[in-house]
Amino acid sequence: MNPAPAPSGGRPAVELDRAGSPPATVLLRRARLLDPRAGLDGAADMLIRDGRVAELGEDLAAPEGAEVVDAEGLHALPAFVDPHVHLRTPGREDEEDIDSGTRAAAAGGFCAILAQPNTLPVVDSAPVLRSLRERARVEARIPTGFLAAITVGQRGEELTEMAELAEAGAVAFTDDGMPVRSAGVMRQALQYQRLAGRLLALHEEDPALSGNGVMHEGDVSALLGVAGIPSVSESTMVARDCALAGYEEGRIHIQHVSARETVEAIAGAKAAGIQVTCEATPHHLLLTDEDVRELDTNMKMNPPLRAPVDREALIEALRSGLIDFIATDHAPHAREEKEQPFEHAPLGVTGLETAFAALHTGLVLPGLIDLGLLVERMTAGGEPFGLLTPSLAPGSAANVSLVDLDAEWEVGEAGYESRSENCAFAGRRLTGRVRMTIADGAVAYRERSFALGAVV
């Protein structure tokens, strides 16, 4: 994907990596085009030539060699961007690798993802980052970027060589999975951001408040007798880091917001002019601690599913734009690790393949948000990281997700592209199915049952 013009001078351009793939020439016949940012909402033909959106219009002629897709009844959306994915590589390739993770992303309609650095070893040095980028240039089905750690080994003690890492292509920095516990270290990272120039993406949680908690602290945890993680574990750290970012005039991004109190803290910080963005996951927008009653380990993640009142606050914040975009926090885990008693099971759920369908089913169909808003929030994830937002406007690189909004399917019925199956929506019936994904000008995914159009 092309780098965005740098918002402030001097910051090196962000680059993503992917395996070489021929630029597509595809004619989408009579697709319903929907791209609120580009002001598009209506049926038309869309011609993609040599990987770029060439023309929109009626009865376009197919150039020689073009694949013609009958898209009647399907929606062509700008493809989605997910800046919060765990590819488990290096170290846990049994759970996910770059090939399977990017295949899962493409199957979910994504055209770009950013991988988190909490791997084995942690991505905290330029050599590890360079080797990952090299693999991505062989394996990645869609453009993939890598974040590096804020602190060495994500131990929260010393800063990584952030300037060198940024030069080596780190898209941003995060200790995701762990908070930066020390306010002093967090402050240094913000100071050093003036040199390294990349966004700090923060997993917010106070370990002293989370304790040995494994789910949201509330009525359900009281009933189940499992230790809870209180909402204030997240919101107090968010308040701290917003204050630090304001003081150091740094830029931070709050990952996976889960609690109403956090939404309020971010609203206050944004109103005060602090440079903060935030994301929410499909599972926090759709599920609550009520879904944990059966102690299904596919409902265990960090931050935990919160109370219905928190979910309502997230939906409202998504609507208002306080939550800038949706990110999946796709976190694959091996089956034998999830097949344990709840308190022992690892934290995290997969979500790339279900994000759009789950949100379409759970938020758009019941009328909580409209489809255009969902498209905006699923495509905006690259913006704070300096990536271009996908667009259907002529001249743009082709990043298109072709979806059937009426298709019903059961999650997991035909397996997963991901190597792991710990999906929070496993077994649920969803409405809306990605049929084809074009990422950075190349066809990255085609649903098996989706008939190939005739090649002229």
Partner 1 sequence: MRRHLLTVDDLSREDIERILGRAESFAEVSGREIKKVPTLRGRTVINLFYEASTRTQSSFELAAKRLSADLVTVKASGSAVEKGESLKDTVQTLSAYDPAVIVIRTPDAGAAGLVARWTRASVINAGDGKHEHPTQALLDLYTLRRRVGSLEGLGVWIVGDVLHSRVARSNVLAFTRMGCQVTVCGPPTLIPRGIESLGCEVRYTLDELPGADVVYALRMQRERMQGSFVPSLREYAARYQIDGRRLGPNQLLMHPGPVNRGVELSAEVIDSPQALITEQVESGVVVRMAVLYELLAGRGAPSGARSSLESEPQPA
Comparing CB distances to partner 1, the nearer of 135 and 300 is 300
Q: Which residues bind partner 1 (CB under 8 A)?
A: 217-228, 230, 294-295, 336, 339-344
What minimum distance in Å lies between the beta carbon of 335 and partner 1?
Answer: 10
Alpha carbon distance 452, 456 (integer Å): 12
Q: Are 55 and 73 in contact (CB under 8 A)?
A: no
Q: Are 410 and 97 in contact (CB under 8 A)?
A: no
What minimum distance in Å lies between the beta carbon of 52 and partner 1?
Answer: 52
Q: Which residues belong to the active site? A: 329
Alpha carbon distance 311, 330 (integer Å): 19
What minimum distance in Å lies between the beta carbon of 316 and partner 1?
Answer: 23
Count of all residues that appear for the chain in the document: 456
Alpha carbon distance 144, 129 (integer Å): 12
Alpha carbon distance 105, 16 (integer Å): 15
Maximum C-alpha span of the chain = 66
Q: Please, what is the angle between helix 260-271 and helix 231-248, to 10°?
A: 10
Instruction: For residue 408, give the nearest of 426, 432, 427 by alpha carbon.
Output: 432
What minimum distance in Å lies between the beta carbon of 221 and partner 1?
Answer: 7
What minimum distance in Å lies between the beta carbon of 39 and partner 1?
Answer: 48
Q: Are 375 and 34 in contact (CB under 8 A)?
A: yes
CA distances from 390 to 109, 331, 403 (A): 12, 24, 16
